[in-house]
Amino acid sequence: MGKTLAEKILSLKAGADAKSGDIVIANVDLVFLQDTTGPLVIKQFKESGLAAIAEPKKAAIFLDHAAPSPAQQISNDHVLLRHFARETNCHIYEVGNGICHQLVAEHFAKPGNIIVGADSHTVTAGGLCAFATGMGSTDIAIAMALGKTWFRVPETFLINLSGSFPKGVYAKDLILSLIGQLGTDGATYKALEFGGESLARLTMSERLTIANMVVEAGAKVGLFPSDEVTQSFLSAQGRGDGYKPLYPDADANYERIMSLNLASLEPMVSFPHTVDNVRPVSEAKGVKVQQVFIGTCTNGRLEDLALAANILKGKKRYSDTRLLVAPASQQVLLQAVEKGYIHSLVESGAVILPPGCAACLGLHQGVLADREACLSTANRNFKGRMGNPEAMIYLASPATAAASAIKGEITDPREVM
């Protein structure tokens, strides 16, 4: 019997013939933490009695969730994390460098890697064919100390993609639509593997957007095969030597096979307060939004800012709608400046926030008021997520977000393109 991508990667790394349902122990290629889960990682690391990080160059700390720090307690946490990095000689990415998952994609993830992070959206690196999954602080502390961790090899759902996106429809609409079909726990403990004839046309940015959100259906990983798209992304990042092709076997065993025709999709909106509460944008027509947020590890990449800038160019945001834009990394910000996207966005009335998580998790930079609504390009719309349980969060693509910023209400991007 052949292997799925998840079985293949875990077999290679564990040196075993791993089948879904097995428990394996495997070395990790990268273990990382961020500023809100990190302090507990360090506490647990110290408590474990294990003296040092197994391989400091395979460990990284990202100061991204509350960066720059909005509160003295978090500033103290940042100091703790900086000290730890200095003591252990692991990597540290500073305030303003960007969101951990974007930086992992830019600088670390390679096909066939195993990556564990103290953040649920660690799955993002699955776009690069890395078996990447989120864990809690204790698991991460021990993975750091031992250089390995344990996994249950997941069963896999194959998502067969066919056709091309129609105008105004993007990777975000695809993954929202899929989560709507699966439900918030439809893929709990499973791997989602993407295949089909559309793959070759999906850019790395789109793959990262899709992989990023598989956890919203409960999945453990979201894996794309490693192909020419992977190779050209790695080369462009100066990491071409990390490339290797990686595909599932033709006779792999899937628990479930689903088909999705991209041509049949339309712009989608996730309504409050669960991500699977997904409806076509037409059903959200007229919903007033006081804030539009474009950014996050889901949709803060260059392609996303380009899309928004092209729609907003020469236009103004609606007077009563704030428009916040946070590039996912410093590299994204620099490229967006060079290409003129930042210029168009600022002229349209956008506030540019520093690369990082920004308004996504309700700590700072865009906390909503009571009864306000926000259209966000993020991955979660849980009650209270943006800092106020009395607020409403809608999720959509950067194009829908830009169109909605112009009209002040949720708008089909095809109306303004």
Q: Which residues bind ligand SF4 (CB under 6 A)?
A: 65, 99, 101, 119, 121, 296-297, 357, 360-361, 378-379
Q: Which of these, 216, 272, 298, 217, lies nearest to 389 by C-alpha position? A: 272
Taking the C-alpha atoms of residue 146 and residue 124, their distance in angstroms, rounded to an integer, is 24
The C-alpha angle 156, 162, 164, rounded to 5 degrees, equals 130
Residue from 20, 37, 270, 299 touching other proteins (CB under 8 A): that is 37
54 binds other proteins (CB under 8 A): no
* Residue 231 engages other proteins in binding (rule: CB under 8 A): no
**Are residues 163 and 198 in contact, defined by beta-carbon separation less than 8 angstroms?**
yes
For the bound state, the minimum distance from the C-beta of residue 315 to other proteins, rounded and expressed in Å, comes to: 33
With CB under 8 A as the contact rule, the residue among 148, 317, 322, 407 that binds other proteins is: 148
254/191 Cα distance (integer angstroms) = 10
Q: Does residue 44 touch other proteins according to CB under 8 A?
A: yes
Residue 298 in contact with other proteins, rule: CB under 8 A: no
Nearer to other proteins, 79 or 417 (CB): 79
- Residue 222 binds other proteins (CB under 8 A): no
> Is the Cβ of residue 13 or residue 101 nearer to ligand SF4 in the bound state?
101
Contact in structure between 23 and 151 (CB atoms under 8 Å): yes
Binding mask 2-31 for other proteins (x = CB under 8 A): ---------------------x-x------
- What are the angstrom distances between the C-alpha of 393 and each of 18, 261, 300, 367, 386? 41, 28, 17, 11, 8
| Angle of helix 204-212 versus helix 228-236 axis, rounded to 10 | 100
Q: Which is nearer to other proteins, 119 or 304 (CB)?
A: 119
**Residue 33 burial (CB count, 10 A):** 29
Sorted by sequence, the CB contacts under 8 Å of residue 160 that are 6+ apart come out as 195, 196, 257, 258, 259, 260
**Of 162 and 277, which has the nearer Cβ to ligand SF4?**
277
**12, 334, 367, 416: residue in contact with other proteins (rule CB under 8 A):** 367
**Quick one: which of 11, 36, 329, 344 contacts other proteins (CB under 8 A)?**
36
Residues 251-280 that bind other proteins (CB under 8 A): 274
Nearer to ligand SF4, 122 or 226 (CB): 122
Cα 111 versus chain centre, distance: 17
Residue 304 binding result from ligand SF4, other proteins, none, given CB thresholds of 5 to 8 Å by partner type: none
296 contact, one of ligand SF4, other proteins, none, CB 5-8 Å limit per kind: ligand SF4
Report the distance separating Cα 210 and Cα 176, nearest Å.
Answer: 9
The nearer residue to other proteins, 65 or 317, going by C-beta atoms, is 65
Instruction: Work out what residue 74 binds among other proteins, ligand SF4, none; the CB cut-off runs from 5 to 8 Å by kind.
Output: other proteins
Yes or no: say if 298 and 406 are a contact pair by the CB < 8 Å rule. no
Greatest extent of the chain over all pairs of C-alpha atoms, in Å: 60
Of the candidates 378, 308, 387, the one whose C-alpha atom is nearest the C-alpha of residue 349 is: 308
Strand partners of residue 269: 279
Q: Does 142 bind other proteins (CB under 8 A)?
A: yes
Is the separation of the CB atoms in 408 and 389 below 8 Å? no
What residue type is 99 in one-letter code? Answer: I
State which of residues 3, 58, 65, 101 lies at the interface with other proteins (CB under 8 A): 65
Kindly state the smallest distance separating residue 294's Cβ from other proteins, in Å: 20
Which residues lie near other proteins (CB under 8 A)? 23, 25, 36-37, 39-40, 44, 47-50, 65-66, 70-71, 73-74, 76-77, 80, 117-120, 122, 134-139, 142, 145-146, 148-150, 152, 184-185, 188-189, 218, 220, 274, 361-363, 367, 380, 382-385, 387-389
